[in-house]
């Protein structure tokens, strides 16, 4: 009797152990697979550059030392040591500032264009014509109007984030299922209440997609914006380092922009998951 | 008594013509229907017979181009909580959980918070979804969604429930269960139900009166009073007799159209 019981006990325990192992493996697998390719690229980069003084691109190890020096100093102790936070902060402030301004303008405008036919007829054609103009093509004009400096960069970020938010907000408020309006009105929800209780929540996934695209675009545009006579910012040090042939700093700047852009996108997605738990495509 | 008073819903010689691609299409002609309080009425007919149009006019979603549509003798000018609609595709708000979907109507009508909570609790219990109260619609089965849609109009004090092929998208087993539940709710609450279907069995099982409609242009063909005692036995001889009568009536349209 007792042997039977202990037998079955150990049986379930080992089953539990294997299921735990397979669960761990199924979690680890995508991570491992995701790491394989970058590791391969890194080693190709390493072996193609290390020990060649004439190489245009510095080896990964030099870039890593430079990154450390940019962040914490103590290696080169030159003009760039321990300046990363200054540039990072400047860029982040411009990205989120421009993004916030785009949000403040594009959200209400998009809702108006989407819901009020008269406003749509007045404004939408103009926007359709202006939208294909690439944000970078606005740069010279921005420099003329706002001068050389951070204000041009800020304007570009605003413009870059503005269109995705606007277009997706219009799409979101226009593509509310007609059935939901019928449901709301037979339940006693009419007029402006319908806007807040039906249109807005129904459009939220779309608006959110627009915000995510807009923020991503803001990170793209900030570099271009900062390449024109701005003293601080990640785009600025990339450009300056190129002129000084400090290629390792150029690459460091790229890495930091990539990382921060990625983290910023993750943050938005995390907020979206909490806000849109009801949506099968977001939750 | 009912004949003398004012009907809860009355349609007098109602017609609907609308324009589509420059052509005018007559969806409904000369339809008259009188619904007494507490009745369960099924509208049955082939597609294009105007049964959904009639229902949507009763709801106030569409205006008649001819005739009068009255509730308690007052013309219907638009949707109202007193006429709750249950759609075939549910029409639940995907961003609200079961609780808030049912509470949507009372909240729109600015009921007190405590009152809304009590109402919602009551109707969640009525449809047996206590353990799904905090679940979003996309996580529910079709049958559960339709239960929520029914509870939603009941929680909003609907006097008439208008149902547009509500069980048409459900599997047979779920459909039968919901038919039972609907009859149960109806007999306990004294609701008035106007129910559109194209299934003969469903109409005989549910209705006090079956209104047969025919297409081209849509009109009311005939009315039958189903006097079978409830609960109805779908395998019984009388049920079968009704089945034959209604099938003959419905199929006579095809014969005439072909001939």
**Gap from B244 CA to chain A (nearest CA, Å):** 36
How many other CB atoms are found less than 10 A from the CB of residue A191?
7
Q: b vs e for B222-234, b when ≥16 Cβ sit within 10 Å of the residue's Cβ?
A: eebebebeeebee
Residue B112 has pLDDT above 70, yes or no: yes
Q: Torsions phi, psi of A67, nearest 5?
A: -60, -45
Residue B11 has pLDDT above 90, yes or no: yes
Tell me the domain boundaries of chain B: 1-82+174-259, 83-158
Q: Where are the beta strands (DSSP E) in chain B?
A: 9-20, 23-35, 40-44, 66-71, 74-75, 83-86, 160-164, 192-197, 209-214, 219-225
pLDDT band at B14; cut points 50, 70, 90: very high
pLDDT digits (tens, 9 = 90+) for B78-88: 999 999 999 99
Q: What's the mean pLDDT in B43-72?
A: 94
Q: What is the CATH number of domain B1-82+174-259?
A: 3.40.50.300
Which of A175, A179, A186 is the best mutation test for B, with the most CBs of B within 10 A? A186
pLDDT digits (tens, 9 = 90+) for B144-169: 999 999 999 999 999 999 999 999 99
Q: What's the mean pLDDT in B104-115?
A: 95
pLDDT digits (tens, 9 = 90+) for B203-252: 999 999 999 999 989 999 999 999 999 989 999 999 999 999 999 998 87
The reply to whether A179 touches chain B by the CB within 8 Å rule is: yes
SS3 (DSSP) at B219: strand
pLDDT digits (tens, 9 = 90+) for B44-58: 998 889 999 999 999
pLDDT at A13: 61
The reply to whether B135 touches chain A by the CB within 8 Å rule is: no
Q: Do A183 and B81 touch (CB under 8 A)?
A: no
**Gap from A116 CA to chain B (nearest CA, Å):** 21
pLDDT band at B186; cut points 50, 70, 90: very high
Name the B residues in 219-248 with CB < 8 Å from any A CB.
none
d(CA B125, CA B194): 24
How many A×B Cβ pairs under 8 Å? 72
pLDDT at A20: 86
How many other CB atoms are found less than 10 A from the CB of residue A65?
15
Q: Crossing angle, helix A247-275 and helix A200-226, to 10 degrees?
A: 170
Averaged pLDDT score across all residues of chain A: 90
d(CA A53, CA A66): 17
pLDDT at B220: 94
pLDDT band at A17; cut points 50, 70, 90: confident
């Amino acid at each position: 009797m007792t042997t039977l019981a202990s037998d079955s006990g150990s049986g379930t325990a080992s089953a539990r152990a294997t299921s735990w192992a397979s669960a761990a493996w199924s979690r680890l697998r995508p991570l491992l697979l995701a790491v394989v390719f970058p590791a391969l690229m890194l080693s190709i980069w390493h072996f193609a550059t290390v020990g060649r003084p004439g190489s245009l691109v510095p080896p990964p190890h030099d870039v890593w030392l430079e990154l450390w020096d940019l962040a914490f100093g103590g290696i080169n102790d030159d003009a760039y040591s321990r300046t990363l936070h200054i540039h990072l902060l400047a860029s982040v402030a411009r990205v989120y500032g421009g993004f916030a301004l785009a949000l403040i303008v594009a959200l209400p405008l998009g809702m108006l264009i989407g819901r009020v036919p008269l406003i749509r007829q007045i404004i939408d054609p103009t926007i359709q014509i202006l939208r294909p103009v690439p944000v970078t093509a606005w740069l010279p004009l921005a420099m003329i109007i706002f001068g050389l400096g951070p204000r041009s960069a800020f304007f570009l970020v605003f413009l870059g984030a503005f269109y995705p938010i606007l277009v997706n907000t219009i799409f979101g408020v226009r593509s509310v299922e007609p059935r939901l309006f019928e449901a709301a009105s037979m339940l006693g929800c009419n007029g402006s209440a319908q806007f807040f209780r039906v249109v807005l929540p129904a459009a939220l996934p779309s608006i959110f997609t627009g915000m995510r695209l807009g923020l991503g675009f803001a990170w793209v545009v900030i570099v271009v914006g900062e390449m024109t006579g701005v003293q601080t910012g990640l785009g600025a040090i990339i450009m300056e380092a190129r002129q000084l042939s400090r290629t390792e700093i150029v690459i460091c700047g790229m890495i930091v922009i990539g990382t921060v852009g990625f983290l910023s996108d993750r943050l938005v997605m995390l907020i979206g998951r909490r806000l849109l738990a009801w949506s099968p495509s977001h939750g | 008594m009912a004949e003398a008073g004012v009907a809860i819903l009355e349609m007098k010689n109602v017609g609907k013509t609308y324009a589509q691609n420059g052509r005018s299409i007559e969806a409904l002609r000369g339809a008259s229907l009188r619904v007494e309080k507490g009745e369960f009425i099924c509208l049955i007919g082939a597609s294009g017979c105007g049964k959904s149009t009639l229902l949507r006019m009763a709801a106030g979603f569409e205006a008649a181009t001819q005739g009068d549509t009255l509730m308690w003798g007052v013309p219907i000018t638009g949707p109202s909580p007193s006429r709750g609609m249950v759609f075939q595709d549910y029409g639940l708000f995907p961003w609200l959980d079961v609780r808030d979907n049912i509470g949507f109507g009372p909240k729109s009508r600015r009921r007190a918070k405590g009152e809304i909570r009590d109402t919602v609790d009551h109707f969640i219990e009525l449809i047996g979804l206590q353990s799904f109260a905090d679940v979003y619609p996309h996580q529910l089965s079709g049958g559960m969604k339709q239960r929520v849609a029914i509870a939603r109009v009941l929680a909003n004090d609907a006097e008439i429930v208008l149902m547009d092929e509500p069980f048409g998208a459900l599997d047979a087993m779920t459909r039968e269960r919901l038919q039972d539940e609907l009859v149960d709710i109806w007999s306990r609450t004294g609701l008035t139900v106007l129910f559109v279907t194209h299934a003969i069995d469903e109409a005989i099982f549910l209705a006090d009166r079956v209104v047969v409609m025919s297409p081209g242009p849509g009109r009311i063909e005939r009315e039958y009073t189903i006097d079978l005692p409830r609960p109805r036995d779908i395998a019984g001889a009388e049920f079968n007799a009704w089945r034959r009568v209604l099938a003959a009536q419905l199929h006579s349209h095809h014969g005439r159209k072909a001939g």
